[in-house]
Amino acid sequence: MEEPTSWTPEDMEQRQIARLRNLKPTKHDYARPEIGVPTDAYERVASKNIYLLLAPRERKRSFSPPAVFGAPGLELSIVDCPPGNGPKLHTHEQTRETFMPLTGRYEIIWGDKGEHSTVLDPLDMFAVPPGVFRTFRNVSEHDAKMLVVVQGEKNEVMNDVYYPKDIGEQITSEFGAEVWERFQAIGLRVAS
């Protein structure tokens, strides 16, 4: 799709500006009946709130449209987590994930069992190489926002995420086999 060369302020506001106050968390898209992942189950795997700011138009994982369409190979999101919240340990096999707290402090945890960690203050940055298991959690005493950048090859961004083998058992135990099947249907995968 070819972009226009002349943009009005209204065009920019509709198609090129992402205002966080106008975005809804991605967890609501996964809860739609045709996808069927309950919001509380999604929050057990991912962060409490993820706001997808920028992503390519053509991408495999398209349940949540981005606020702005961008170039292939790059996704930008903001996570908004209460104290202690963050996603389950996971890896991106082919893409690099970079974290930058905007408000509050986040602990970045990595390693096959999450055996290493460091704490980032606002505007610090941590780039996790492909293939490394990682997670994060808000270690502030208040809700905090963090910029998350995922970059890699075209059509592989966010399509290469794997969780430890026991994630299926955890989801099944807490939410039932049907919810685990729905997660698998949308592409949640476990590492071998």
- 146, 100 contact by CB (below 8 A): yes
Q: Which domain holds residue 129?
A: 38-60+70-190
Residue 181 lies in a domain: yes
Tokens of 162: 């794997």
Q: Above pLDDT 70, what percent of the chain?
A: 93
Residue 33 lies in a domain: no
Rounded to whole angstroms, how far apart are CA atoms 45 and 80? 14
| Overall average pLDDT of the 144-170 stretch | 84
Residue 1 lies in a domain: no
Reported as a pLDDT band with limits 50, 70 and 90, residue 54 is very high
Residue 18 lies in a domain: no
Residue 14 lies in a domain: no
Higher pLDDT, 63 or 26: 26
Reported as a pLDDT band with limits 50, 70 and 90, residue 154 is low
Q: What is the pLDDT of residues 14-48, one digit of tens each?
A: 889 999 999 999 999 889 998 889 999 999 899 99
Q: Into how many domains does the chain fold?
A: 1
pLDDT value of residue 58: 78
Rounded to whole angstroms, how far apart are CA atoms 134 and 128? 8
Residue 20 lies in a domain: no
Q: Is the pTM of this model over 0.85?
A: yes
| Overall average pLDDT of the 183-192 stretch | 82
pLDDT value of residue 159: 67
CATH code where residue 84 lies:
2.60.120.10
Q: Residue 105, exposed/middle/buried by CB under 10 A (0-12, 13-18, 19+)? A: middle
Residue 21 lies in a domain: no
The DSSP output letter for 172 is H
Mean pLDDT of the chain: 90
The DSSP output letter for 103 is S
pLDDT value of residue 139: 98
